[in-house]
Chain A
Amino acid sequence: MTDVTAPTMAPSAIRARPPGFFVDLVSIAGRALRTIPRAPAEIIPALMIPLFFFIVNVGALQDFSERGIPNFDYKAFQLPVAIIFAVTGVSRASTLVTDIQDGYFDRLLLTPVRRLALLLGLMVADFALVCGLCIPVMGLGFALGVRFETGLLGMVAFVVIAGLWGLVFTGFPYAIALKTGSPQAVASSFILFFPFAFLTTSTLPRFALTGWLDTVAGYNPVTYLLDGLRALVSKGWDWAPIGKGLLAIALVGAVSMSMCFAALRGRVRRG
Chain B
Amino acid sequence: MSALPSSSAAIHASGLVRRFGDFTAVDGVDLDIQPGEIYGFLGPNGSGKSTTVRVLCTLISPSGGSATVAGFDVATHPDEVRLRIGVALQDAALDPMQSGVELLRLQGRLYGLTKREVAIRLAEVSDLVDIGEAIDRPIGTYSGGMKRRLDLAASLMHNPDILFLDEPTTGLDPVSRARVWEEVRRLNDELGTTIFLTTQYLEEADELADRVGILSAGRIVAEGTPDELKRSVGEDVIIARIDGDGSAALAAVHGIAGVSTAELHGDELTIAAADGASIISPVAVALSGTGVHVKDLTLRTTTLDDVFLELTGNRIERRDDVTPEEVSA
Contact = CB atoms under 8 A, between A and B. Distances in A.
Chain B interface bracket (under 10, 10 to 19, 20 to 34, 35 or more): 35 or more
Contacts of B109: 19, 23, 27
A135 B72 CA distance: 51
Nearest to A98: B95
Contacts of B191: 9, 11
B148 interface: no
A112 B83 contact: yes
A111 B59 contact: no
B254 interface: no
Interface in A1-49: 1-2, 4, 6-12, 14-19, 23-24, 27, 30-31, 34-35, 38-39
B183 interface: yes
A57 B117 CA distance: 55
Contacts, number: 120
Contact of B190 (A9, A99, A113): A9
Given A14-B120, A16-B83, A9 B128 contact: yes
Contacts of B111: 16-17, 19, 111-112
B284 to A, nearest CB: 29
A18 B160 CA distance: 14
B194 to A, nearest CB: 14
Contact of B57 (A7, A15, A19, A110): A110
Nearest to A1: B178
Given A1-B175, A6-B186, A15-B158, A103 B97 contact: no
B58 A270 contact: no
B187 A106 contact: no
A7 B112 CA distance: 26
A111 B112 CA distance: 10
A104 B97 CA distance: 12
A99 to B, nearest CB: 8
Contacts of B82: 110-112
B84 A16 contact: yes
A164 to B, nearest CB: 27
A38 B97 contact: yes
B329 interface: no
18 contacts: A1-B178, A6-B128, A6-B186, A7-B127, A8-B190, A9-B186, A9-B190, A10-B190, A11-B191, A12-B121, A14-B120, A14-B121, A27-B106, A34-B98, A102-B91, A110-B82, A113-B110, A271-B61
State the 4 A-B residue pairs at the shortest beta-carbon distance, nearest first. Answer: A103-B93, A271-B60, A16-B158, A19-B112
Given A14-B120, A24-B110, 7 more contacts: A1-B174, A11-B191, A14-B117, A19-B112, A23-B112, A31-B98, A270-B60
Interface of B: 54, 57-61, 79, 82-85, 87, 89, 91, 93-95, 97-98, 102, 106-107, 109-113, 117, 120-121, 124, 127-128, 130, 154, 158-160, 174-175, 178-179, 182-183, 186-187, 190-192
Interface of A: 1-2, 4, 6-12, 14-19, 23-24, 27, 30-31, 34-35, 38-39, 99, 102-104, 106-113, 269-271
